[in-house]
Structure 1
Amino acid sequence: MTAMPPLGAEVLPPGIRARIIPGINGLAMHVLEAGEPGTRCLLLLHGFPELAWSWRKVMPALAAAGYHVVAPDQRGYGRTTGWSADYDGDLAPFRMLNLVRDQLGLVAALGYGHVEAVLGHDFGSPVAAWCALIRPDVFRRVALMSAPFAGPPALPEEGPDRPSPPDIHAALAALPWPRKHYQWYYSERGANDDMWRSPQGVHAFLRAYYHMKSADWSANKPFRLAGWTAEALAQMPTYYIMDLDKDMAATVAPEMPSAAAIAANRWLPERDLAVYAGEYDRTGFQGGLQWYRCRTTGRFEAEAQVFAGRTIDVPSVFIAGASDWGIEQVPGAMRRMREVACTRMSDVHLIPGAGHWVQQEQPEAVVAHLLKWLG
């Protein structure tokens, strides 16, 4: 992959700077920074389909509170290079323990022995959780956003006589309204091209996708699901439990907001969306999709089971939008996070007026909760 320059000052908000840090676990890592190096450090980890850019609205305020705020483009994303988007290539670099290794390397390259806190949103949330679970000496607090962490996988030997769960994919496909789970769709060979080469183009695809998962889409009214069954999961919107015969670009296209709604959008104006679109138009989506493939194949499950029963014992907090279906997409995960996985979780904040993109939709509320938690 060709080396990239950092994002230019012409697109960066005041107080945020960008640079490339080479030699981090095989990566040349693109990072955004705010605040003074050498002060207390906050590490911010984005999700899919996002970038370090996703934190642009909260970084200046956190820096003004006295923190050195660092947000990388994670492995597979944006202007970070040193990874392969080959569908038939090696998935191992994208497994969770190596994603944690990436962040350990970044902390070391920044000259820190530890960070004050690691914050993760969406797929960045489990990375942040695993950072705090494995290396609490380095990641001394953890804020999880939009994706609950239910803990490491259990050892199968603990319940060898437990009946095997039914095939959820066959059950979804057999529903009167045939459906499929988005994570397994994201693991298919064609998913990248479906979005990257979609009829509407990357910019319009992302506009509809971000809109449909935000509080602007009035159908986002999450509630607790009864369990991991086809009938329960099918109550979620089609961006999670998709029509069996549709790809993601076709799923979100009918919900494209009007020109007037786009012009009125304050949390994601066209100039901000253009940064996302420009990066994904260049890289495609496969780098992020490799993360989903690591999860759905189960190939690295045994490695993760080494940590079975281990809890996150550093101070933690959970923040999400009140209109975010992500908090309910895995039935029981929220309860297990609060009661088992995180032993020092002080608060769960569900912010009104925000969907899945909580730090972009309601940045002031997110900053207020974070600063109060950080003390």
Structure 2
Amino acid sequence: MHVAETGNGDGPLVVLLHGFPETWWSWRHQLEPLAHAGFRVVAPDLRGYGETPSTGPFDIDTLATDVARLIEALTPGGRATVVGHDWGGAVAWHFAAHHPGRCEKLVVLNCPHPTRMQEALFKERAPKQLKSSWYMFFFQLPWVPEWVLTRDAGAFVARMIRGASVDRSRFGDDEVRPFLEGILRPGNARSMVGWYRAAFRATFKKSPPPPTIDSPTLLIWGEGDRALHHDVLIPGTERFVRRLTVERIAGAGHFVHAEAPERVNPLLLSFLRS
């Protein structure tokens, strides 16, 4: 697993998990502020992203186990605060529920609890969320999604990132280029889409309710997210988390930590220090 690391090697460990279609570069505005605050900060390229090999499987248990193994390698027998955005948030939710001994605190940005997402799509059939989740169903098609994501040197990905944001000026060419380079690496587009395909297949399998998360949890949400609607997906989250704090960021979209770091970072640092 490829990782970016900075900060105090003896400080509390913070692991930052990026989402789709990103890499560790997703956390470019958080790495140094967290390091300067005394934390040991590690941001991996998750399985099949960036420079991490694009080998499956891509089921959520495997992805969360990747994080547990990373933490064990960095601090044998120790714990970490796990921060996840988008797909990294889904992995973080699952990690905190199923590896509680490894999770000091949990921070999730613009990602619903996986059970809450399933409820909204398949039980409640929330019209607004179903419409905005079209891409999840599109990604179930063979080969076409990979072609769309990689054609024209990843131009669709650049448009998608900017289109998911309120302030598009935050995502210039230099900001977006590392993500395009990541998805254009051989095999990566198929792996990234593979996460969605594995998640979709899992919805048809019967599984027990997830364990309640005991770790203190901070949920940050850019209210301008056009793909994941806060008014649909946040209510009910408290059923899955014992100690939950919710912070909504007005005027910011899906990539809230990159679009509004001046508002996200103080919330993150305050929670980590508390």
TM-score band w.r.t. shorter chain: 0.7 to 0.9
Q: Is the 8 A contact 1:95 1:300 kept in 2?
A: no
Q: Is the 8 A contact 1:128 1:142 kept in 2?
A: yes
The equivalent position to 1:114 in structure 2, one of 70, 73, 78, is 78
Inter-partner Cα distance in structure 1 for 2:132 and 2:103: 39
1:369 aligns with 2:273: no
Inter-partner Cα distance in structure 1 for 2:106 and 2:227: 19
**Structure 2 CA distance for partners of 1:142 and 1:72, relative to 1, 3 Å:** same
1:213 aligns with 2:164: yes
Q: Is the 8 A contact 1:320 1:327 kept in 2?
A: no
**How many pairs align?**
266
User: Which residue pairs with 2:254 in the alignment?
Assistant: 356
**Structure 2 CA distance for partners of 1:168 and 1:118, relative to 1, 3 Å:** closer
**Structure 2 CA distance for partners of 1:326 and 1:142, relative to 1, 3 Å:** farther
Inter-partner Cα distance in structure 1 for 2:60 and 2:163: 28
The equivalent position to 2:233 in structure 1, one of 313, 323, 333, is 333
User: Which residue pairs with 1:131 in the alignment?
Assistant: 95
Inter-partner Cα distance in structure 2 for 1:46 and 1:138: 19
**Structure 2 CA distance for partners of 1:208 and 1:108, relative to 1, 3 Å:** same
**1:141 match: secondary structure:** strand
Letter in 2 for 1:368: P
CA deviations over 1:279-317 (Å, ceiling 9, x no partner):
222234211111100111237733xx24x1521111001
**1:354 match: secondary structure:** coil
Higher helix share: 2
Inter-partner Cα distance in structure 2 for 1:192 and 1:138: 35
Offset of residue 326 of structure 1: 4.0
Letter in 2 for 1:64: H
The equivalent position to 1:60 in structure 2, one of 13, 20, 32, is 32
CA deviations over 1:203-257 (Å, ceiling 9, x no partner):
x32221111100137xxxxxxxxxxxxxxxxxxxxxxxxxxxxxxxxxxxxxxxx
CA deviations over 1:252-284 (Å, ceiling 9, x no partner):
xxxxxxxxxxxxx2x223222222222222234
User: Which residue pairs with 1:271 in the alignment?
Assistant: 174
Q: Is the 8 A contact 1:133 1:312 kept in 2?
A: yes
Kindly report which structure 2 residues correspond to 1:144-163, keeping only aligned pairs within 5 A, or say none.
144-149=108-113, 151=115
Offset of residue 122 of structure 1: 0.3
Q: Is the 8 A contact 1:121 1:144 kept in 2?
A: yes
1:42 aligns with 2:14: yes
- Where in structure 1 do 4 or more consecutive aligned residues deviate above 6 Å? 164-169
Kindly report which structure 2 residues correspond to 1:1-375, keeping only aligned pairs within 5 A, or say none.
29-81=1-53, 83-84=54-55, 93-149=57-113, 151=115, 181-189=134-142, 190-197=144-151, 200-202=152-154, 204-216=155-167, 265=169, 267-283=170-186, 284-298=188-202, 301-302=205-206, 305-306=207-208, 308=209, 310-328=211-229, 332-338=232-238, 340-345=239-244, 347-374=245-272, 375=274
Return 5+ residue gaps in structure 2 as ranges: none
CA deviations over 1:32-65 (Å, ceiling 9, x no partner):
1110223200011111001111001111001111
Inter-partner Cα distance in structure 2 for 1:179 and 1:361: 20
CA deviations over 1:81-116 (Å, ceiling 9, x no partner):
2x33xxxxxx6x210111111011111111342334
Inter-partner Cα distance in structure 2 for 1:76 and 1:295: 15
Offset of residue 352 of structure 1: 2.8
